[in-house]
Structure 1
Amino acid sequence: MAFVIDASVDIDAPAERVWQVITDFPHYGEWNPFVSECRSSLVPGEPIDMVVHLGGRPRRQREWIRSHTPGHELSYSMKPTPFGALHSLRSHTLTPLGDHRTRYESHFELNGWLHPLVVALLGKHLKAGFAGMTAGIQQRAEALRTP
């Protein structure tokens, strides 16, 4: 059974602004406690290079863009390891709620026969990291409101 982390938050900002926060990679270090650096063209099949903080230690992580619908959805995954040992999926999805509000949904799943070991070592850090990133997206988007 996969290790799954799902989170959802309603944000007091329009979807365009929330999307701007998610894709404004040069400014991640200003608000994102989990991914302090990020670079990508967002083209499916191209890499997304990140510096991820797990347990206080920064780690370089390269994953691959799976899908990108500007303003709505972005997903990426690690390159599968040999013999199905480990594979992942990460997605960000926005749903406009009207009245300049947006629902942000975060999804992460890790699977493969090696995933129980990774979860034992890093599971609590992954949960804290994704929670911090979700809260950071909300705080940043709401702070960027124009008066």
Structure 2
Amino acid sequence: MSLVIDETIEIDAPAAKVWEVLTDFERYGEWNTFCYEASSTLEPGSAIDMRVQLGSNRRPQQEWIRTHTPGVEFSYAMKPLPLGALHSLRSHTVVPLGPDRCRYESRFTLAGWLSPVVTVALGKHLRAGFTAMTAGVGRRAVA
């Protein structure tokens, strides 16, 4: 059983502005209550180092960039656990809808035979975090 969190919003801002918000990692702490610190070159194979808030706990998180199409999308994944126990994929996609409007698509998938345990332990916090981040992207882009 996989945990899938899909969040999509339409934003009254140009796609380039939303992309700027998503990739300006130094300013995440100003608007992102879920992933309040991040750094990465976005080069596929390189690390993305993050600090995340899961409920009342703050913790470091390191994942690995899988894809990056500048201005359009980037994705990253955790280092899979052995024997298919746990693996993830997180993606951010910006779709232009006109010169001053776009859609931001956020997707997180957690799968593997340990995913039900993680879902019970952290699912509520992950859902709240991704929902808050998606809303934060929209607010920051139109500010």
TM bucket by the smaller chain? over 0.9
| Whole-angstrom distance in 2 between the partners of 1:57 and 1:70 | 32
Alignment of 1:1-147 (within 5 A): 1-143=1-143
| Whole-angstrom distance in 2 between the partners of 1:34 and 1:12 | 22
| Whole-angstrom distance in 1 between the partners of 2:101 and 2:57 | 34
- Provide the TM-score with structure 1 as the length reference: 0.96
> Structure 1 counterpart of 2:86, which letter?
L
Structure 1: runs of 5+ lacking an equivalent:
none
| Whole-angstrom distance in 2 between the partners of 1:2 and 1:117 | 11
Shift of 1:2: 1.3
- Please list the CA deviations of residues 93-120 of structure 1 after superposition, one character each: whole Å capped at 9, or x if unmatched: 0110004101000000000000000000
| Whole-angstrom distance in 2 between the partners of 1:41 and 1:58 | 23
| Whole-angstrom distance in 1 between the partners of 2:25 and 2:3 | 26
- Provide the TM-score with structure 2 as the length reference: 0.99
| 2:117 match: secondary structure | helix
| 1:118 match: secondary structure | helix
Q: What stretches of structure 1 move > 6 A for 4+ residues in a row?
A: none
CA RMSD of aligned residues (A): 0.6
| Whole-angstrom distance in 2 between the partners of 1:4 and 1:25 | 24
Shift of 1:56: 1.9
> Structure 2 counterpart of 1:103, which letter?
R
> Structure 2 counterpart of 1:106, which letter?
S
| Whole-angstrom distance in 2 between the partners of 1:71 and 1:5 | 22
- Please list the CA deviations of residues 113-140 of structure 1 after superposition, one character each: whole Å capped at 9, or x if unmatched: 0000000000000000000000000000
| Whole-angstrom distance in 1 between the partners of 2:107 and 2:125 | 15
| 1:93 match: secondary structure | strand
Shift of 1:38: 0.1
Q: How many residues align?
A: 143
Shift of 1:74: 0.6
> Structure 1 counterpart of 2:54, which letter?
L
Structure 2: runs of 5+ lacking an equivalent:
none
- Please list the CA deviations of residues 5-60 of structure 1 after superposition, one character each: whole Å capped at 9, or x if unmatched: 00110001000000000000000000001001001010000000000100121110
